[in-house]
Structure 1
């Protein structure tokens, strides 16, 4: 079953999916995933770490990032933050063979364009929350304005589809899918390489190049996400959780949890109980 961050629902009236994310729990990570819809992220305040196209980027206040259709990405809140996210249908961009280059963490864009985009995204969110009877008409207008800026100011014309959807990119998606299906069985790099017809060394290099994480790191994040879900929704012991989420034993689970989350599993669970009481 797809997670909510992979199963995007575009509103028919506004032709977008829009939400504001306010991270108060900086322990959580959205694992590597991809979807057909394009994604535009605006960091209003705080910081957000993004693994995208083989790069690790820290978005700060005012930063914008565009994620093209089908591109694997992962995010983690490194501080309390406020982020506006908009998803748009891929149709226009795929039909016109357009690739949008927008990543203000690593590349500068004219301040005028940056201001136009951030103003539209802020206005869209405010309008989206107003629940006016015909506010969707204005939302449609702003979405079209946003798309016009993207395609006229920030788009690159692709010569052919292979330039965008390379064979390696498609293979990475397949690999991600395999790991997501089998990480709880503690599937190894060697086993995945065998399934995909690669040597372990080649798969390891290719995975890190396209995903920005090692194979082991990616698998650990998936395991931790499931472990945290079980910790918050069940009374299972840490030993049971470690065995159900792909860790070799409880000691390994505790070690990885501390390295990534910054707390032991027991400390994490205690902090959640304290928050609930408040």
Structure 2
């Protein structure tokens, strides 16, 4: 399943985005093994029923396996990598929707991670049950399903606010917004120009920072070096073209900003376990 970054298009009938079913299937032709660092103004809940996934949130790595659940806060920088086929539910609730019914959302953050050893696993049971119910109700779409879906969304939010929220200092919110505004400018520019010969110095100049400060700033808040992030964006774009088009591997490599085919092949093999030609043949075979 292909997860979109930052700009989330929500379901037409209810104000959420719900991914469900076999969200970890590598047999899906649109499957992407690794989702690059990104953020968005949504509360995001991962519930892994079976299978496993690695999540990085603010540079911390978490391994979610059987019956694990984790919530990601609004504007937290995160990425993911699917490890083992399975089933799960991914729910995204937009900030604007939550803000209407819970105006204090800016003053709290959620600590909701069932993998933490200090956590009581029992307190997650209700939340897991509601996520399963929401998936079932929405998939079946029986008469009145929208009413029940709204009810479950509010129940989920109530559970998060009541049992998983902590107060957030005002200064932290202000500092976070300032850094996110700068990161947004940087990342938007990189995404728009990732297929060009985009040096660190060029991006630093664009956002009026010295190369040295830019390099430290980017690594501190993204948890990854500039060049690794750039290459991950290029690889993600190249993967889609490899699977969904008949373009030659040379064209895919060059058109996506790689210096040559050798560099593309090496990075692709490190991530997907085989070179692009073999991978394409196996997918289409």
Unaligned runs of 5+ in 1: none
- Work out whether 1:225 is the aligned partner of 2:236: yes
CA distance in 2, matches of 1:265, 1:248: 16
Q: Secondary structure at the match of 2:221?
A: helix
- Residues 72 and 224 of structure 1: is their aligned pair in 2 closer, same or farther, counting only changes over 3 Å? same
Of 202, 206, 210, the residue aligned with 1:191 is 202
CA distance in 2, matches of 1:161, 1:135: 42
Conserved? CA contact 1:14–1:137, under 8 Å: no
CA distance in 1, matches of 2:273, 2:12: 42
2:114 paired residue number:
104
- Residues 224 and 204 of structure 1: is their aligned pair in 2 closer, same or farther, counting only changes over 3 Å? same
Of 129, 133, 140, the residue aligned with 1:130 is 140
TM-score (norm 2): 0.86
**What does the per-residue CA deviation read over 1:113-148, in whole Å, with 9 as the maximum and x for residues that have no partner?**
211111110111111111111022122111111111
What is the RMSD of the two structures over their aligned residues, measured on CA atoms? 2.2
Alignment of 1:161-176 (within 5 A): 162-163=172-173, 165-176=176-187
Q: After TM superposition, where is structure 1 displaced by more than 4 Å over at least 4 residues in a row? A: none
Of 179, 187, 192, the residue aligned with 2:190 is 179
- Work out whether 1:148 is the aligned partner of 2:153: no
Q: Secondary structure at the match of 1:81?
A: coil
Q: Secondary structure at the match of 2:149?
A: helix
2:18 paired residue number:
18
- Residues 106 and 194 of structure 1: is their aligned pair in 2 closer, same or farther, counting only changes over 3 Å? farther
Deviates more, 1:207-216 or 1:235-244: 207-216
**What does the per-residue CA deviation read over 1:148-207, in whole Å, with 9 as the maximum and x for residues that have no partner?**
111111112233275263422322222211111111103122221222233333322332
1:213 paired residue number:
224
CA distance in 2, matches of 1:14, 1:166: 28
Q: Secondary structure at the match of 2:234?
A: helix
Conserved? CA contact 2:32–2:236, under 8 Å: no
- Residues 104 and 189 of structure 1: is their aligned pair in 2 closer, same or farther, counting only changes over 3 Å? farther
Conserved? CA contact 2:114–2:121, under 8 Å: no
Alignment of 1:56-135 (within 5 A): 56-91=61-96, 92=98, 95-96=103-104, 97=106, 98-106=108-116, 108-135=118-145
Unaligned runs of 5+ in 2: none
CA distance in 1, matches of 2:178, 2:6: 22
Conserved? CA contact 1:183–1:219, under 8 Å: yes
With a CA cutoff of 8 Å and minimum separation of 6, indicate the structure with the bigger relative contact order: 1
Conserved? CA contact 1:54–1:208, under 8 Å: no
- Work out whether 1:33 is the aligned partner of 2:38: yes
